[in-house]
Structure 1
Amino acid sequence: MFKFAHRLRGTAQKFTQSWAHITRMQLAVLACGVLIGCGTPQNQPAPQNTGTAPSYALELPQMKRFNSLRPAPIRRSNSAIARDFLDLSFQLENGTDLTQFTRFEGPITLRVTGNSIPASLGPDLDILIKRLRSEAGINITRVAPSVDANITIQTLPHSELRRRAPNTACIVAPNISSWDGFRRSRRANLSWAAVTRRERLAIFIPNDEAPQEIRDCLHEELAQSLGPLNDLYRLDDSVFNDDNIHSVLTEFDMLILRATYAPDLRNGMTRDEVALRLPAILSRLNPAGDRINTPRIAPTPRVWIDDVSIAMGSQTSVSARRAAAKRAVLTARAQGWNDTRTGFSLFLLGRLSVGADRDLADAALTQAHEIYSARASTAYHAAHVALQLSAIALLERDYDGALKLTSAAMPAAYDAGNAALLASLMLTKAEALRAIGRASEARLVRLDSLGWARYGFGTDEQVLALTRDIANLARR
């Protein structure tokens, strides 16, 4: 069966945007994308705005970037992690079972090719490789573009990616080393189900997206090229989750990768053989996990996954997506869940209901925020929902509410390295401050946000559109 791993459109700014995958949140800009859920900056040009750019944004500051990241810590037992490892490693995202364990053997080499390599890619890739070596214990080294490598990262225009794989932000495929090879290959040659040993693969990343989108592609696709090919909605602290909340590798992800390359495992092992060795591996790598008791999480039924996929997609009408989100909420409640899956169902319903039923939107988003805020492990999820609620608060002139929501959410956005979310929260906070007469404080917050917006949204046009739209929210 033909299957290549890919990061669907919208993942870049996660909950900050509207979806094709989620995304990972994909909006047009706050007024349109965050509240109404109508497309993404990458899928369409910046919205036309009859207003003028705010004077404070006419000269944008230098782009800010994350020189280090503070990934979410691991908060569950080794027995739970073992179940996650097996479900991640022995199944594809489409439900296809894998009969054997696969990974690279020996030192891994990586190169970057492409006619136009974004300036941000190199520094972000260096940070990621350093983390993979130190945190996951993977012997991976970057080599010159002219040298044959196990992993080839090739950059190309997103329009090229879209022609081959619509609605994808980036792709990882086995058994090839170039885009030409990808286009010429038969589907059977690109099937992960047929891979018995990882030796050569390629990652294709757009060269004309925001720096954050490019970085997120690096993290998600390199993680899948090295380790698990599946995603699980039940994971609240991992990039291996189709909700695409997390976009940079967490401590859990690094532990999964470190276990993948443990000397106890080898290519060709069955699920049962790996399962026998995992307890000792995890006890060695994560001794604290042996002292934690994590309740078993119920499996995710396919009907819920299908409804969430429809709700996040762009192939149907907003009303059809909203109906799918309602069904997902009903399924979550029928299952008795009170975890990220219920929170995500409510989040989708809230986003998709703003234009049709404000009361329903506010109630759904408020419930999602309560679910996420109840756990330290989902503070970052709560920050995404807080942006939606703070935007509604601006519209309703509840400026104190907007200030409270944004101030509480900003640290989680920063710790997770989400510049798009951070900038949007800061701009929303600035408008709330301006509205209650704290103009000088608002100006400082606004100016500080613009450097992050340049990393999160990319072009000056997108940044200026974002500032206009959030300012318009507060003036409606």
Structure 2
Amino acid sequence: MDLHRPFRILSALPLLAALLAACDLLDPNVDASLKPQARPTPPVAAAPVVARPTSEKSASLRSYFAQVEQAQLSQGLLRQDGGGADTPFTADVLARNFERIAFFNEYDGSFGGAGGSSPLNRWASPVRMEVLFGDSILPSQRRADTTAVRDYARRLGRVTGHPVTMGSRPNFIVVVAGEDDRAEMLAKAAARVPGISQRSLASVREMPRDTYCLVAAYATGANPNVYTAALAVVRAENPDLLRLSCIHEELAQGMGLSNDSPDARPSIFNDDDEFALLTRHDELLLKMLYDDRLQPGMSAAEAAPITRIIARELTGGPL
């Protein structure tokens, strides 16, 4: 009998009697090892990731940000072309924009007010990023966001010449969470990276309605101008392009370009939202920031003669 063919049990007791009778007919000289062996217990499948239902507040924000994105696109904002013939800039403009973006802070320590002038800040150790997701994020969105952060980390590393990767022992956490799970994920981020300030966590738990995302960088080592940790927060309620725009701006600002300027163009470091994604102009700012001729702790005045030379080298202008 082929035991692999499907069959139906018509009567349990008669079948058992027949099997017992068959046992009496077995040759005792047959090797017992030829008998069918018991199959191992199959592993228990992991429970699928299921997004937690969102609150009414989160759903309202999702609708609001979708309207914001649509309104900006209808006005020709959130450009993804990196600039072009309509956005020329010279070496002097690049140097000026670098000074305003790298030597000033966008906010004070509480994210509540405008920041002031600042020495040059950047990383010295390799940057290792990790993305933490709130329970409200669907698996498909997690995959898309992880890919976006990984690809952008590679780009930041390539542009700056500084190691930027996704890996173990993270020092730069990217939290993607909504209104319902942001506090929980911020606590997890603080547990993952030493040096993240509880004071700053208290500030970002309650993000203003018009804030899509933000970043905080920390210098907890011997040099107060060398970053040792960073935390970026991206609202889960953002639609696709605003979400990607947040990744581009906040991660670049977390590298040390901490301010925005209304005169920077073509640039994501401008609150007018004309550009959604990192531009060629912005790549040059990052190159300048990690040029070996500049050092953490330099003031704008100390760096100015050097940044003018670097800007001319990068743009091909006369020295």
Indicate whether the TM-score tops 0.5: yes
The 5 A counterparts of 1:344-423 are none
Would you say 1:280 and 2:309 are equivalent positions?
A: yes
Secondary structure of 2:123 counterpart: coil
Distance 1:11 1:290 in 2: 45
Distance 2:165 2:313 in 1: 25
Q: Deviations over 1:263-322 (max 9, x none)?
A: 1111111111111211222233332x449xxxxxxxxxxxxxxxxxxxxxxxxxxxxxxx
The answer to whether the Cα contact below 8 Å between 1:129 and 1:141 also exists between their aligned partners in 2 is: yes
Greater share of helix residues, 1 or 2? Answer: 1
Q: Tell me by how many angstroms 1:254 deviates.
A: 0.6
The answer to whether the Cα contact below 8 Å between 1:13 and 1:212 also exists between their aligned partners in 2 is: no
User: Which residue of structure 1 lines up, in the alignment, with residue 90 of structure 2?
Assistant: 77
Distance 2:244 2:213 in 1: 11
Secondary structure of 2:227 counterpart: coil
User: Which residue of structure 2 lines up, in the alignment, with residue 357 of structure 1?
Assistant: none
Distance 1:113 1:15 in 2: 24
User: Which residue of structure 2 lines up, in the alignment, with residue 16 of structure 1?
Assistant: 70
Secondary structure of 1:267 counterpart: coil
Q: Tell me by how many angstroms 1:208 deviates.
A: 4.2
Q: Tell me by how many angstroms 1:247 deviates.
A: 1.3
Q: Tell me by how many angstroms 1:215 deviates.
A: 1.1
The answer to whether the Cα contact below 8 Å between 2:97 and 2:263 also exists between their aligned partners in 1 is: no
Distance 2:243 2:163 in 1: 23
Distance 1:13 1:237 in 2: 24
Q: Structure 1 278/221 Cα, relative in aligned 2: closer, same or farther at 3 Å? A: same
Q: Deviations over 1:324-375 (max 9, x none)?
A: xxxxxxxxxxxxxxxxxxxxxxxxxxxxxxxxxxxxxxxxxxxxxxxxxxxx
Secondary structure of 1:229 counterpart: coil
Q: Deviations over 1:422-469 (max 9, x none)?
A: xxxxxxxxxxxxxxxxxxxxxxxxxxxxxxxxxxxxxxxxxxxxxxxx
Distance 1:243 1:111 in 2: 29
Would you say 1:102 and 2:144 are equivalent positions?
A: no
User: Which residue of structure 1 lines up, in the alignment, with residue 176 of structure 2?
Assistant: 155
One-letter amino acid of the counterpart of residue 99, structure 2: L
Secondary structure of 1:120 counterpart: helix
Q: Tell me by how many angstroms 1:210 deviates.
A: 2.2
Would you say 1:142 and 2:166 are equivalent positions?
A: yes
User: Which residue of structure 2 lines up, in the alignment, with residue 164 of structure 1?
Assistant: 206
Q: Structure 1 163/106 Cα, relative in aligned 2: closer, same or farther at 3 Å? A: closer
Secondary structure of 2:260 counterpart: coil
Q: Deviations over 1:38-67 (max 9, x none)?
A: xxxxxxxxxxxxxxxxxxxxxxxxxxxxxx
Distance 2:239 2:215 in 1: 19
* Alignment RMSD (CA, Å): 3.2
Q: Tell me by how many angstroms 1:127 deviates.
A: 2.8
User: Which residue of structure 1 lines up, in the alignment, with residue 231 of structure 2?
Assistant: 202
The answer to whether the Cα contact below 8 Å between 2:241 and 2:276 also exists between their aligned partners in 1 is: no
User: Which residue of structure 2 lines up, in the alignment, with residue 90 of structure 1?
Assistant: 103
User: Which residue of structure 2 lines up, in the alignment, with residue 241 of structure 1?
Assistant: 270
The answer to whether the Cα contact below 8 Å between 1:12 and 1:247 also exists between their aligned partners in 2 is: no
Distance 1:230 1:78 in 2: 20
Distance 1:12 1:267 in 2: 39
One-letter amino acid of the counterpart of residue 213, structure 1: L
The answer to whether the Cα contact below 8 Å between 1:110 and 1:140 also exists between their aligned partners in 2 is: yes
Q: Deviations over 1:9-59 (max 9, x none)?
A: 978887732xxxxxxx39xxx8xxx8xxxxxxxxxxxxxxxxxxxxxxxxx
User: Which residue of structure 1 lines up, in the alignment, with residue 250 of structure 2?
Assistant: 221
Would you say 1:131 and 2:155 are equivalent positions?
A: yes
Q: Deviations over 1:212-268 (max 9, x none)?
A: 222111001001101321111122310000111211000011100111000111111
One-letter amino acid of the counterpart of residue 130, structure 2: R
Percent sequence identity is 24
Aligned pair count? 217
One-letter amino acid of the counterpart of residue 128, structure 1: Y
Would you say 1:112 and 2:131 are equivalent positions?
A: yes
Distance 1:12 1:277 in 2: 43
* TM-score after normalising by structure 1: 0.41
Q: Tell me by how many angstroms 1:156 deviates.
A: 1.4
Q: Structure 1 11/218 Cα, relative in aligned 2: closer, same or farther at 3 Å? A: farther
User: Which residue of structure 2 lines up, in the alignment, with residue 173 of structure 1?
Assistant: 216
Distance 2:163 2:289 in 1: 13
One-letter amino acid of the counterpart of residue 169, structure 1: Y
Q: Deviations over 1:68-87 (max 9, x none)?
A: x6422572111121111111
* TM-score after normalising by structure 2: 0.59
The answer to whether the Cα contact below 8 Å between 1:89 and 1:229 also exists between their aligned partners in 2 is: yes
Distance 2:304 2:147 in 1: 37
In structure 1, stretches of 5+ residues that fail to align are 1-8, 18-24, 35-68, 177-188, 292-476
User: Which residue of structure 1 lines up, in the alignment, with residue 26 of structure 2?
Assistant: none
One-letter amino acid of the counterpart of residue 175, structure 1: Y
Secondary structure of 1:166 counterpart: coil
